[in-house]
Amino acid sequence: MNSDQENFLRNDFLTMSILGALGRSRTYSKSASDKTKIEFLNTLRVKLDEVSRKYQSTVTEENHLSNIEKLSDEFSSSFADCLRNRRFRIGIAQKALNLYLKYLWEKVMGSNLYS
């Protein structure tokens, strides 16, 4: 797989992961502006991809849970004004990260199985 194909898949996986996690979650406050929501989503895309790269080697369950908690805390701190109850809930952070890792895992396993 060339780098353009990989970048396309990563972008697609990020989109599906974020839509899956935020789709019905009522994450944003009623007063959140569209501009802030877009900034939140773009930042989340970058952060999920950054965190996922830690999983290229073995990650313990403790480290995985810590990654989820850090993601939740970081976004709660940075985007409190646009978040419902000023918090990016752990369950939503967990779903976003786990979905993205699942898509990446399937890409790796698929390429190993069929190449």
pLDDT at 69: 98
Distance (Å, rounded) from C-alpha 21 to C-alpha 92? Answer: 6
Give one DSSP letter per residue of 100-111, joined into a string: HHHHHHHHHHHH
- CA separation (Å) from 89 to 2, 27, 58, 65, 105? 36, 8, 26, 13, 24
In tens, the pLDDT along 39-66 reads 999 999 999 999 999 998 899 999 999 9
pLDDT surpasses 80 at 109: no
